[in-house]
């Protein structure tokens, strides 16, 4: 988690410039949502905390009751694009059948597609932006990207075929698999909604990159779908 501290969220803050509807999101979530939109559309460097506060409908000073500043907001948004997938890696490795190693990679890809498909305003675009990549926040966030890439490489290495293994190292394989999944960012940028079919196609592509045969891909898809349903049921319990 980022060390860019957020200000205490329990303090009351000043009255809103624009009254908040009873059904609206919590102020902190509103700030994150508006910041995501502005950072993606204008750029991180070109967006000020005043811009964010004005669009949320609060005074700039009130924003600082929830976040210490713009870097803290960016840090939390970057976390949202990676952390939900990263937190499930250990469980994926622990619960996927050992005799179907392809299922673990397929399942990670499905979960990661869902993460990138549901984050607000396609914030996966942020870590491709020069002003974000050149920031101190990104330097602190980058180890999490490397950790996720390493997980892809590890799961991919468990299923990679001889010819692929002979030409692609584990680190390079992880990078290729991450790039395959990040096509979600480009699809969303074109205004297209990410569907279940997209997730399945991307997960299957990850296995094909590793040289997995089609029968193994079909079998792993069934296993991964069953595990994904189990994950969802346990989360709701």
Question: DSSP class of residue 237?
Answer: -
Q: Which pLDDT does position 24 carry in this prediction? A: 54
Q: Are 71 and 135 in contact (CB under 8 A)?
A: yes
Q: How many CA atoms lie within 13 A of 179 on its CB side?
A: 7
Find the Cα–Cα–Cα–Cα dihedral 190, 27, 83, 202, rounded to 10°. -20
Q: Give mean pLDDT, residues 58-78.
A: 95
Chain segment 193-232, per-residue pLDDT in tens: 999 999 999 999 999 999 999 999 999 999 999 998 888 7
Sign of dihedral through CA atoms 66, 69, 70, 76? negative
Q: Give mean pLDDT, residues 115-135.
A: 95
Q: Which pLDDT does position 228 carry in this prediction? A: 87
Which residues lie below 8 Å from residue 79, measured CB to CB, with a gap of 6+?
1, 2, 141, 144
CB atoms within 10 A of CB 157: 19
| Tokens standing for residue 141 | 């966030």
Closest C-alpha to 105, from 221, 196, 1: 221
pTM of the model: 0.86
Chain segment 8-57, per-residue pLDDT in tens: 443 334 344 444 444 456 889 999 999 999 999 999 999 999 999 999 99
Q: Where are the chain's structural domains? A: 80-236
In this model, does residue 181 exceed pLDDT 60? yes
Q: What percent of the chain has pLDDT over 70?
A: 87
Q: Which pLDDT does position 150 carry in this prediction? A: 97
């Amino acid at each position: 988690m980022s060390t860019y501290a957020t200000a205490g969220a329990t303090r009351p803050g000043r009255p809103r410039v624009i009254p908040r509807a009873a059904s609206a999101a919590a102020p902190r979530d509103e700030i994150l949502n508006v910041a995501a939109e502005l950072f993606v559309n204008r750029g991180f460097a070109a967006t000020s905390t005043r811009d964010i506060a004005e669009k949320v409908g609060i005074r700039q000073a009130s924003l600082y009751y929830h976040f210490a500043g713009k870097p803290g907001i960016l840090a939390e948004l970057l976390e949202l694009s990676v952390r939900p997938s990263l937190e499930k890696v250990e469980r994926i490795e622990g619960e996927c059948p050992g005799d179907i190693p392809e299922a673990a990679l397929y399942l990670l890809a499905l979960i990661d597609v869902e993460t990138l498909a549901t984050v607000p305003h396609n914030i996966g675009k942020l870590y491709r932006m020069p002003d974000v990549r050149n920031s101190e926040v990104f330097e602190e966030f980058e180890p999490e990207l490397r950790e996720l890439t390493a997980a892809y490489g590890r799961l991919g290495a468990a299923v990679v075929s001889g010819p692929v293994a002979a030409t692609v190292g584990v680190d390079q394989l992880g990078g290729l698999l991450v790039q395959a999944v990040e096509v979600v960012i480009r699809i969303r940028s074109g205004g297209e909604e990410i569907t279940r079919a997209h997730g399945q196609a991307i997960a299957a592509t990850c296995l094909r990159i590793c040289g997995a045969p089609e029968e193994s891909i079909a079998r792993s898809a069934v296993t991964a779908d069953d595990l994904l349903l189990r994950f969802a049921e346990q989360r709701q319990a």
